[in-house]
Structure 1
Amino acid sequence: MLRTYLLVSAAALLAACSTTPTQPVAESKPAAPAAAPAKPAAPAPAAEVLPPHRDPNSELSKNNAVYFAYDKYVIEDKYKATVDLHAKYLVAHPELNVRLEGNADERGSREYNLALGNKRATAVQSALGLLGVKASQMEAVSFGEDKPLAIGHDEDSWAQNRRTDIVYPQR
């Protein structure tokens, strides 16, 4: 009998818990305090500003090569603006150094191409020097045919490889 009574009591208790009220119970909430004046949002951390010689979208980065005609090391008029741009920047930033990397296409012997790359790098170095860049800011090196931009064996590829790159440090 006791057992039956416990079963009936448990069933009644469970049934009482499963019913939902037909009307929502209104809750009384205390009145909200007056809104405090909003604090200005903290400024978002500023994005790192890169100096022009390290910013890939700057004119210095986009125009960092002087191209040459076949077997030549004279700077053509169309590249004098590039040299001038870098000269003005280097004069304004005497703490910076550049490496002038002379290159040649694959035609010619290894020794000849190293010498031609050196003449091209030295031509850009001389032009920068005439525009006021200190000799101590520049280093001319030659890669000859060892650092091609284009690997094809046609005039378009060779033209891309006949150049001097103006390379700033990655500090």
Structure 2
Amino acid sequence: MGKKLVRGLIVMSLMCASLVLATSCAKKQIDVSEGIQPPAEPPRKVEAPAAKETPKEVVVVEVEEEQLPPEMVQKIEAFQNENIYFDFDKSNLKPEAQEVLKKKAAFLRNNPEYYVLIGGHCDNRGTEEYNLALGERRAASAKDFLMALGISGDRIKTISYGELRPADPRNNEEAWALNRRDEFNLYK
């Protein structure tokens, strides 16, 4: 009788263990009808911040040329159409760029009603972030030079376009040299 009792206990233990194991793995039934309130307002979509800043578009007021004498129109066009150029990966002003800036400073001194926006540009070599920073340094170099010549910093704004606005889209040394530039736009 002792052996039968031990076998019975073992069988009962295995059955209990199987029952416990089977019920513990079953999914729990949850009553979701109670205690949950619908949201008062729908959730708002939150946009992630931009990974990098791109240049903001600056609106330049066009000079109304029809109200100006032809000589002044010519001076304005000459001012805006003469860019300065930089060496690869540089923001220092070359002697020829300094001569151009001296002419621009003379125009600004003689026409205090005008302001200038200097846009710094780069060729497409390098990362976009690096080129935006380099374009800003190039525009700042021109601004600093104009300020050293007596033009108020309040009349000079700068912006970097990096590689975003190439003068020549080709990928060769000639195109890259044209893209490494500062452009000048007048506004009132």
Match of 2:69 among 49, 58, 83: 49
For residue 161 of structure 1, what is the amino acid of its counterpart? Answer: N
What are the within-5 Å matches in structure 2 for residues 24-103 of structure 1? Answer: 49-50=69-70, 52=72, 54-55=73-74, 59-63=78-82, 65-103=83-121
How does the TM-score come out when normalised to structure 2? 0.60
**Paired residue secondary structure (2:120):** strand
Paired residue total: 123
For residue 74 of structure 2, what is the amino acid of its counterpart? Answer: D
Determine the structure 2 residue equivalent to 1:120.
138
Determine the structure 1 residue equivalent to 2:180.
162
- For residues 75 and 170 of structure 2, what CA distance do their matches in structure 1 show? 26
- For residues 151 and 75 of structure 2, what CA distance do their matches in structure 1 show? 23
- For residues 185 and 71 of structure 2, what CA distance do their matches in structure 1 show? 14
For residue 134 of structure 1, what is the amino acid of its counterpart? Answer: S
Determine the structure 2 residue equivalent to 1:131.
149
User: What is the Cα-based RMSD across aligned positions, in Å?
Assistant: 2.2
- The unaligned stretches of length 5 or more in structure 1 are 1-46
**Paired residue secondary structure (1:132):** coil
Q: CA deviation at 1:151?
A: 0.6
Q: Judging changes above 3 Å, is the alpha-carbon distance between structure 1 residues 88 and 120 closer, same or farther for their aligned structure 2 residues? A: same
Q: CA deviation at 1:95?
A: 1.4
On the 8 A contact 2:80/2:186 being kept in 1, the answer is no
The runs of 4+ residues in structure 1 deviating greater than 6 Å are none
Percentage of matched positions with identical amino acids? 29
On the 8 A contact 1:55/1:61 being kept in 2, the answer is no
- The unaligned stretches of length 5 or more in structure 2 are 1-66
**Paired residue secondary structure (1:151):** coil
Structure that is richer in helix per residue: 2
For residue 119 of structure 1, what is the amino acid of its counterpart? Answer: R
Determine the structure 1 residue equivalent to 2:165.
147
